[in-house]
Structure 1
Amino acid sequence: MTLYPLLFEPNLHTVVWGGDRLCPYKGLKPQDTPIGESWEVSAVPSSTSIVSNGEWAGKELTTVIDAHPKEILGESVNKLYDGKMPLLVKLIDAKGDLSIQVHPNDEMAKRVHGKSGKTEMWYVIDANPGSYLYAGFKSKISEYEYKKRIADGTITDVLARHEVKAGDVFYLPAGRVHAICSGILLAEVQQSSDVTYRIFDYNRPGLDGKPRELHTELAAEALDFNVEDEYRTIYKEDDNRANLIIDSQFFSVRVAELTEPFHRNLLKYDSFIITMCIKGDFKIRIRETGEETTVREGYSCLIPAAIADYDVVPLNGTTRILDAFIDNKKRDLGHRITRFLHLSSK
């Protein structure tokens, strides 16, 4: 068995708010239905990714991971997540506004649904002039006011509205109210969960012509009503380096714009790496095996933890990539510090 970077078949989802940008972005034929999501790397049972290259072509990602969990996920990730892929990565094209929604944390999701919670982040790839999204509350409200505003359709009046441009980043911990609005194309990294509580959907019908279900009571339990000073993630971005944009207990995300070959040795993290090609094709060259894999614009690649020492080689002058993985190095350090403080207090 020789490990190699995994590519995947297109996994497109038709939704009422979807648009027509994902197919051309990925070099696919246009479809007659509104495509809102491309599930780039997914182990969610309802829509699992299918490998498109190498000896595992045609197999579900879950099947490949089950056969080689430590090598693909990393020993630490395999142990921490019981051999399951902990992340789900998507591309989202919002031609219309998504519903106002919230996701539960791990405790609530496990208790109510037997699933993991859903913390996520957004990286804006493109946005029409004047496009905006909602993230968080702009003023403190009570649960009573929340329910009243849903009933009278004024819930958006108390949400923090953010005009966006390419490169903007938003971190959305479980419990934070949010919605992507029209004219935005973005990449989403999230916990591997499909639990969403829809709060308000503008009284529009779904694809079947019927109103989509709302989850008012569950959302009320999940919501964090606190107000933050800043919801947008501010980060430094330098060319030809991996710029840290999100560093959380659930995932670490970096973005890089490259004009020259770039060496990435991430073995120390003991984690798989999901690399999204945001702009410009590139080639991944594995240092250990010499294996070369081309990743096209609009596609993503899963690099097994055991071979996460590689070069990224731009093929068209400039490429922009987004990496997502589990930072076990940071997690181990935090564990050692906590243990040291515990022992010191004895």
Structure 2
Amino acid sequence: MSVQCHSGEEYNKENYNEFGRQDESYYVVQAGHDAKTFIGFRDDADVDQFIREIKIADKEYKPVDYMKYISYEESKPGLQVMIPAGTVHSSGRNQVVLEIGSLTIGSYTYKLYDYLRPDLDGKPRPIHTYHGERTVARDRKTTWVRENIVQKPRTVRSGEGWAEVIVGESPLLYFTLRRLEFDRQIGDNTNGKFHVLTLVDGERIRIRSKEHPERYFDAEFMDMVVVPATIGEYVVENLGVEPIRVHKTMLKDGFENE
């Protein structure tokens, strides 16, 4: 993926007279040799120099040593990276990531550097340094990233053979990222908010309403399922033999004010 960033709400209002912003997140499902997730600038990065170099690359097609500037996390299954608007980022090679975004309608992606790759016609791919320079968050560097948007999982509830952990939650995002871990089954409740579930580890699960068990959906690996807010209490059951991990996204309390 290209090194890129997205503009925030204020920038979209001022420049496009549009509402909305694009916050994203990556959850690493599978990772191969030397896989990396790029997020933020390095603590020692000269961001102004990086901007100068990508502008030259865009005009003169000279390669940029982006590793001098862009920070990264070693990708391992279970790594959650939050990407608030303005954060420079890229998903590296040799991995499969689950991408969750907030608003992809009325949002903008600014490619800062695309490794001089040509398009299908052999021409250089378009780069957006004008808007990128004006929207990228220069102060989001390695130390800040690891204190704010790459977090250690923390358990919010648990019982025998099951647990729910927060893998990513930030004041900069109005959704929360969770993981359901269990051997046989786990119960949950929408509490009036829809949930988005994705089976990220295991074979097969059944998601069924507790009040109306005839209402269910069977999901396989990497299936993404939206549980309607009206479902209320529901159960996720393991239909296979291996332990289960389900990625869960839902709106935070008070999201209406963000």
Query: TM bucket by the smaller chain?
Result: 0.7 to 0.9
Runs of 4+ in 1 over 6 A off after TM superposition: none
Equivalent position to 2:50, from 132, 146, 171: 146
Match of 2:115 among 202, 207, 221: 202
Task: Measure the CA separation in 2 of the matches of 1:100 and 1:155.
Answer: 9
Say whether the 8 Å CA contact 1:284–1:294 is kept in structure 2.
Answer: yes
Q: Output the TM-score relative to the length of structure 1.
A: 0.63
Structure 1 match to 2:33: 129
State the aligned residue count. Answer: 234
Secondary structure of residue in 2 paired with 1:241: strand
The answer (yes or no) to whether the contact 2:175–2:251 under 8 Å persists in 1 is: yes
- Offset of 1:206 from its aligned partner? 2.1
Structure 1 Cα separation of the partners of residues 25 and 38 of structure 2: 13
Q: CA deviation at 1:115?
A: 4.7
Residue ranges of structure 1 left out of the alignment (5+ in a row): 1-97, 336-346
The 1:255/1:115 distance shift into structure 2, 3 A limit, reads: same
1:321 to 240, 246, 251: 246
The answer to whether structure 1 residue 215 and structure 2 residue 215 are counterparts is no
Q: Does 1:166 align with 2:77?
A: yes
Q: Which residue of 1 aligns with 2:166?
A: 244
Letter in structure 2 aligned against 1:218: H
Flag the 1:297–1:209 CA change in 2: closer, same or farther, 3 A. Answer: same
Match of 2:4 in 1: 101
Shift, 1:112, TM fit: 2.9
Distance across 1 between alignment mates of 2:127 and 2:219: 39
Tell whether 2:194 aligns with 1:272: yes
Contact 1:123 1:167 in 2 (8 A): yes
- Change in Cα spacing, 1:186 to 1:143, as seen in structure 2 (3 Å) is closer
Write out aligned runs for 1:21-100 (5 A). 98-100=1-3
1:282 aligns to 2:239 (yes or no): no
Question: What TM-score do the two structures reach when normalised by structure 2?
Answer: 0.83
Given residue 251 of structure 2, which amino acid in structure 1 is its aligned partner? I
Partner Cα separation in structure 2 for residue 255 and residue 209 of structure 1: 42
Distance 2:230 2:175 in 1: 18
The answer to whether the 8 Å contact 1:122/1:186 transfers is yes
Mark the CA change 1:244 to 1:164 in structure 2 (over 3 Å): closer, same or farther: same
Helix, strand or coil at the partner of 2:10: helix
Name stretches of at least 5 consecutive residues in structure 2 with no aligned partner.
57-61
C-alpha separation between the residues in 2 aligned to 1:327 and 1:162? 26
Q: How far did 1:159 drift?
A: 1.1
Matched, 1:311 2:215: no
Q: How far is 1:323 from its partner? A: 0.8
Assess if the C-alpha contact under 8 Å between 1:119 and 1:250 holds in 2: no
Q: Please give the secondary structure, in 1, of the residue aligned with 2:25.
A: strand
Q: Which amino acid aligns with 2:35?
A: S
Q: Is the 8 A contact 1:245 1:253 kept in 2?
A: yes
Give the letter for the 1:288 counterpart. Answer: E
